[in-house]
Amino acid sequence: MSDNLPPHNEVIERQVIGCCMLEPERCIDTCLVSLSGGSQVFYDMRNRVPYETMVNMHTSGEIVVSDSLLSKLQRTNCLGKTWPWAELSALCDKANPAALPYYIEELNAAWAKRKASAIMAEAASKLSDSQDPSAVFSKAQAQMADLADTKRRSAKIGSKSACEMMLGDLERRFNLQGKLSGLATGWSQYDHMTDGIQFGEQTIIAGRPSGGKSALGVCLLNKVCLNDEVPTMFVTLEMSVEALMRRLLSCNQSIPMSALRSGAMLDADMRKAAAFNKVASERPLYFLDCIGGGSIDMICAAIKTAVRRHNVRLVVIDYLQKIKNTTRYEKRTYEVGEVSGQLKACAVDTGAAFVTLAQLSREPDKDKGRVPRLSDLADSAQIERDADTVVLLHRPKTDDDPHGQNAIILIGKQRDGETGLLKLHFDGRYCMFQNPP
């Protein structure tokens, strides 16, 4: 390889072509699943063209043999874009399909180096054009984080593999012996209906301003991280970390929020605060402070880094509509929709359980305080489409319940389960949601 050319390995590229020609059924399927950049891992077009031709034939059900490949290349006027046919045919004699995993690993590594170089070059070009440095760095960081995750988001899976995946999942659930497959929230009705907060999925919890959605998020921190010691990350775009920790202290130690805000605490409260500090400082809890503004690229990159470094299993985001999209669109709906889609992709890529808080529109308030509907999600219907579970929070205030203690949560969507209304009790002294008495 010349020092002036981007990283690539021409010999190994040809070896992969030879493997696919020699054992197309097995080798092409392996390449489809394992090549991180698809056909782009082939730097030399003389290798990329025959590979793409074989893939097209294979996926359309055509038999890939030497004669049929030659005929296909001739019909598509691609024969002149490849190596001479005699050299391609000779590859079958030299190919070693047993070494295909090694060849794929080498091609993926060379492709990743080329992508990384391109990302850095693009960032340098934008900086020289006097673009906003923070936006340039955030985008480059997000692209690098995606590059570090070599799992493909899509792959061809046959029925046999699909059945094996299903049986493996059923065996895992059977071995739980009644335990939740996801993270327990502590709200018994909710956990019974959803089997907990599921890994690799996005759960949307939506409510009106001051309706308690942030309190629900803090209650999850208390249960999942402080009590169950599950590594957790809280992305805050609204409240300061100090305010969040005060809420967490109130929820965990039952110290009235009014006392914490005013400083009018008793000696017993100070002892509780000291005990809380000892426990909380040892828990795997991480904050991402984005109050000054956080882009979706930067947030996803930070989450992926936390998952890799700290094995974060739960991500709570407060809240979706405040996240900035890197690309500006004509309509706000498109921007929010893309943010929603990228968060869902991040949940799938990392395998962490995502709880994303979101805003409801004013429609329930205009309609005499009715129970919210999925259509009340503010700014974009894409939020509903991307979510695996949507939880709508409602705290009706009546003459008998002026503070809205009798809370209702509506599971308006659950991709893998039932929907319905549940009840929770809200204790405003500690901003805490509990099982109803």
Identify the H or E element spanning 228.
none
Contact predicate 9/106, CB 8 Å? yes
Q: What is the pLDDT of residues 247-300, one digit of tens each?
A: 999 988 888 888 888 888 888 888 988 998 999 989 999 998 888 777 888 888
Q: How many CB atoms lie within 10 A of CB 244?
A: 20
Q: What is the pLDDT of residues 108-154, one digit of tens each?
A: 888 888 888 888 888 888 877 777 777 777 777 777 766 665 444 44
Contact predicate 403/428, CB 8 Å? yes
Q: Which of 270-274, 311-315, 393-397 has the lowest mean pLDDT?
A: 393-397
Look at residue 230 in the predicted model and tell me its pLDDT. 92
Residue 213, CA distances (Å) to 118, 313, 320, 433 in order: 41, 20, 12, 10
CA distance 182 to 194: 9
CA distance 85 to 6: 26
Beta-strand runs (E) in 176-218? 202-207
CA distance 424 to 437: 9
179 CB contacts (<8 Å, ≥6 apart)? none
325 or 229: which leads in pLDDT:
229
Q: pTM surpassing 0.75? A: no
Residue 256, CA distances (Å) to 14, 153, 217, 388 in order: 70, 46, 18, 35
Look at residue 81 in the predicted model and tell me its pLDDT. 84
Tokens 């882009």 identify what position?
295
Look at residue 228 in the predicted model and tell me its pLDDT. 92
Identify the H or E element spanning 64.
none
Q: Mean pLDDT across the chain, nearest whole number?
A: 83
CA distance 354 to 224: 13
Q: Which of 87-91, 97-101, 105-109, 139-143 has the lowest mean pLDDT?
A: 139-143
Tell me the mean pLDDT in the region 93-106.
82
Q: What is the pLDDT of residues 18-52, one digit of tens each?
A: 888 888 888 888 888 788 788 888 988 888 888 98
Q: Which of 150-154, 195-199, 312-316 has the lowest mean pLDDT?
A: 150-154
Contact predicate 352/391, CB 8 Å? no
Q: How many CB atoms lie within 10 A of CB 363?
A: 14
Q: Which of 139-153, 271-285, 310-324, 367-381 has the lowest mean pLDDT?
A: 139-153
Is residue 199 scored above 80 in pLDDT? yes
Nearest to 216 by CA among 429, 5, 1, 426: 426
182: DSSP letter: S
Instruction: Show the DSSP H helices in 228-362 as ranges.
Output: 241-253, 257-262, 267-280, 296-310, 332-350
Look at residue 399 in the predicted model and tell me its pLDDT. 80
Q: Which of 103-107, 123-127, 432-436 has the lowest mean pLDDT?
A: 123-127
CA distance 285 to 232: 5
Contact predicate 390/377, CB 8 Å? yes
Tell me the mean pLDDT in the region 307-333.
83
Q: Which of 68-72, 398-402, 431-435 has the lowest mean pLDDT?
A: 398-402
- % helix, strand, coil for the chain, step of 5: 55, 15, 30
43: DSSP letter: -
Ordered structural domains, the chain, with CATH: 10-148 (1.10.860.10), 181-434 (3.40.50.300)
Look at residue 429 in the predicted model and tell me its pLDDT. 86
How many whole angstroms from its chain centre is CA 341? 9
Contact predicate 285/316, CB 8 Å? no
Look at residue 1 in the predicted model and tell me its pLDDT. 46
